[in-house]
Amino acid sequence: MKLITATMILALAAGAASEKRILPFDYEIHDFPNGLRLVTVPTPFPNVVALEIVVQTGSRNEIEPGKSGFAHFFEHMMFRGTREFPPEKFQAVLQQAGASNNASTSDDFTHYYTTFSKPDLETMLRMEADRFQNLDYPLPEFKTEALAVLGEYNKSIANPFQKLNEVMRATAFSKHTYQHTTIGFLKDIQDMPNQFDYSKEFFRRYYRPEYTTILVMGDIQPSQVKGWVEKYWGSWKRGDYKAPVPVEPPQDGPKSAHVDWPSPTLPIFSVAFHGPAFSDTEKDTAALDLILFLGFSENSPLYKKLVLEEQKVDILAGSNPDHIDPYLFSAFARVKKREDMDYVREQLLSTFAGFKDALVSVKKLDEVKRHLRYQFALGLDNSEAVARTLAYYIALRRTPETIEKLYESYARLTPEDLRAVARKYFQESSRTIVTLAPGGSR
C-alpha cells in the first residue's frame, strides 16, 4: 500500500499538466469464462471500498414501442430482493455495513454502486452476486415499485430543462432509441404496472455476465477480490441476446420545435447537431470535447459577450456526452428577455459557424488541454469519485484504458483537427433547434 501511495502522489504531482498517463494508479482486468469482467484498482485512500457494477443496458436498449423508461424501472426492481436476501435482509446488511448504496440508469448503461468499509467487501460481493443471478420479486411489489418511478418522474416535472431535453431528443431522432429520455414518456411510465412479464424478459436479456463489469476500488487486495468474484459470480450463465437497436438515418434538413411552458419562466434557446458515437481511436469525440470548452464554457468569448458584457443571458452551456451510438452535440442559453431570443439564436449559430471558418489559436487549445488534465486530477480525491468516473468509461469500453486513450487524443489535437470536425458535424441539415417559453413560439 505504501508503494502505491508514493507512486500515486508522485504521479499526481508530476502528471497533471504533462503528457504522461492520466490515471495515477494501476489496475488489473480479469475476464471470467462466462463473459464477466472484473476490474480491480487499489488506491491509497484507507478503509473505504467502492464497488461499481456496470451493466451495459440503458434506455438505448428500450427497443419496443411503449417501453421507454424500462431500463430505469428495472434498476428499481433490482432492489426488490431474492429468496436468500429479501429486501429487508438486503437492507439490513447494508445498514450494518454503514454503506452508502444506490444505482442509476442512463442511455447506455445502468450501474449499481456501494461504498463501505473494507471488512464488508466479501459480504457485498456475495449479496450482489445473488441479486444479479437470482432476482425474484412478486407481482404486487412490481406494481408498487412502478408507482415509485412515477413519483421520480413527478419530482422533476417543474424543471423546464428536463422537458427541453425530452423534446430535443424526440425531434432530433427519428428511429434510434435515443429519441426518448432515460426516465421515459409519462404514458409509458403510467403503463409500467402492466409490464410484469416484460420485466422478466428484460432481466433474462441483459442481466448477464457478458453485459456486466465489476469494478472494485479502494483499500483492497486484487487477488483476494478475484477469488471472491470467482466464488460468487463464476457460475452465472452467459446469455445470447443482442438488442437490434435501430440505426438513425442521416437527418435530411434542419428541424425545430417549441415547448409552450405552462408557468412563468425565462425563455430558453437550444440547438443540437448530430455528432459521432464515442470513440477513443478516432479524433471526433476528443475534438468536439475541446470545441465544447472553447465555444460554450465560462471561459468562451460567447459567454463573456452574452453573460458578462451584454448580460442578455444568465445561463450558457453546452454538452457533448459520450454515447455508444451517435448522439448530439448541443448548446443552450437561458435568455433574460424574450425579445433577445433572435439575437441569442444568431450568436449561438454564428459561434458554431465560426469553428468551421476559422482556426482556433494554439494558445487557447493548450489552455483547454491543461484544463482537462487538471480537472481530472482534481477529481481524484476519494475512491468513490474515482470509481464513478471509471464506471462511466467502463460502460463504453469495459476498460479504464479508454481514459488514457482519450487524453492522448486530446494531447494530439491541432487547430486543423477541430476545424475539420466542426465542418463534418455542424451542418445545417443535421441541426435541431428547440425553444421553450411560456406561450407559443413566435
Partner 1 sequence: MRIALAFLAMVWPLSADLRTVLLPSKSPLITFRFVFLTGAADDPADKPGLASLTASMLARGGSAKMPYSQVVEAMFPMATSVGVHTDKEMTTFSADTHLDNLDAFYAIFRDMILEPGWRAEDLKRLREDGINNLRVTLRSNNEEELGKEVLYNAIYAGHPYGHHNLGSVTGLQKITLEDLKSFHRTRYTQANLILGLAGGYPASFLARVKKDFASLPPGKRDTVERPAPAAIDGFRLTMVEKQTRSVAVSLGFPIEVHRGHADFPAMLVTQSYFGQHRNSAGRLFDRMREKRGLNYGDYAYIEYFPSGMFVFEPAPNLARRQQIFQIWIRPLESPTAHFGIRLAMHELDRLVRMGMTEEEFQRTRDFLSKYVNLLTKTKRAELGYAIDSLYYGIPEYNKFVKDGLAKLSRDKVNTAIKKHLRVDNLHMVVIANDAGDWKKRLLGNAPSPMTYNSAKPEDILAEDKIVEKRRLPLKAENITIVPVEKIFE
Given CA atoms 138, 143, 148, 149 in this order, what sign does their dihedral have?
A: positive
- Enumerate residues 311-350 that contact partner 1 by CB under 8 A: 311, 314, 336
Which grid cell is 11?
504521479
Q: Which residue has the cell 478516432?
A: 282
Does 299 bind partner 1 (CB under 8 A)? Our answer is yes
Between 101 and 409, name the residue whose CB sits nearer to partner 1. Answer: 101
Q: Residues with Cβ < 8 Å from 332, sequence gap 6 or more?
A: 164, 268, 269, 270, 271, 315, 316, 317, 318
SS3 state of residue 274: strand
Between 117 and 279, name the residue whose CB sits nearer to partner 1. Answer: 117
Between 153 and 392, name the residue whose CB sits nearer to partner 1. Answer: 153
SS3 state of residue 434: strand
Compute the least distance from the CB of residue 223 to partner 1, in Å. 25
Does 25 bind partner 1 (CB under 8 A)? Our answer is no
Spatial distance between the Cα atoms of 363 and 265, rounded to a whole number of angstroms: 39
- Enumerate residues 402-431 that contact partner 1 by CB under 8 A: none
Could you give the residue ranges of the DSSP H alpha helices within 156-283? 160-172, 186-191, 196-206, 222-233
DSSP-derived secondary structure letter, 430: G
Count the residues of the shown chain that bind partner 1, applying the rule CB under 8 A: 75
Between 36 and 268, name the residue whose CB sits nearer to partner 1. Answer: 268
C-alpha 99 chain-centroid distance: 23
- Enumerate residues 123-142 that contact partner 1 by CB under 8 A: 139-142
Compute the least distance from the CB of residue 130 to partner 1, in Å. 18
Phi and psi dihedrals of 339, rounded to 5?
-70, -10
DSSP H or E segment with residue 295: helix 284-296
Spatial distance between the Cα atoms of 201 and 414, rounded to a whole number of angstroms: 48
Compute the least distance from the CB of residue 240 to partner 1, in Å. 32
DSSP H or E segment with residue 333: strand 328-335
Q: Residues with Cβ < 8 Å from 260, sequence gap 6 or more?
A: 437, 438, 439, 440, 441
Between 146 and 403, name the residue whose CB sits nearer to partner 1. Answer: 146
For partner 1, the binding residue among 30, 143, 255, 345 (CB under 8 A) is: 143
- Enumerate residues 107-126 that contact partner 1 by CB under 8 A: 115-117
- Enumerate residues 253-282 that contact partner 1 by CB under 8 A: 262-266
Which span (41-49, 170-178, 236-244, 401-409) binds partner 1, by CB under 8 A?
A: 41-49
Angstrom CA distances, 330 to 251, 291, 438, stand at 15, 11, 22
Which span (28-36, 53-61, 127-135, 159-167) binds partner 1, by CB under 8 A?
A: 159-167
For partner 1, the binding residue among 19, 47, 63, 350 (CB under 8 A) is: 47
Could you give the residue ranges of the DSSP H alpha helices within 341-398? 341-357, 362-378, 383-397
Between 146 and 229, name the residue whose CB sits nearer to partner 1. Answer: 146
Query: In the stretch 361-400, what mask flags binding to partner 1 with x, by CB under 8 A?
Result: -----xx--xxxxxx-xx-xxxxxx---------------
SS3 state of residue 329: strand
Which span (85-93, 240-248, 249-257, 323-331) binds partner 1, by CB under 8 A?
A: 85-93
Compute the least distance from the CB of residue 209 to partner 1, in Å. 27
Compute the least distance from the CB of residue 111 to partner 1, in Å. 15
Compute the least distance from the CB of residue 78 to partner 1, in Å. 12
Does 165 bind partner 1 (CB under 8 A)? Our answer is no
Which grid cell is 426?
455542424
Between 142 and 269, name the residue whose CB sits nearer to partner 1. Answer: 142
- Enumerate residues 186-215 that contact partner 1 by CB under 8 A: 193
Between 63 and 148, name the residue whose CB sits nearer to partner 1. Answer: 148
Spatial distance between the Cα atoms of 77 and 74, rounded to a whole number of angstroms: 5
Compute the least distance from the CB of residue 81 to partner 1, in Å. 11
For partner 1, the binding residue among 19, 28, 136, 298 (CB under 8 A) is: 298
Compute the 3-state secondary structure of the chain and give helix, strand, coil in percent, each to the nearest 5: 50, 15, 35
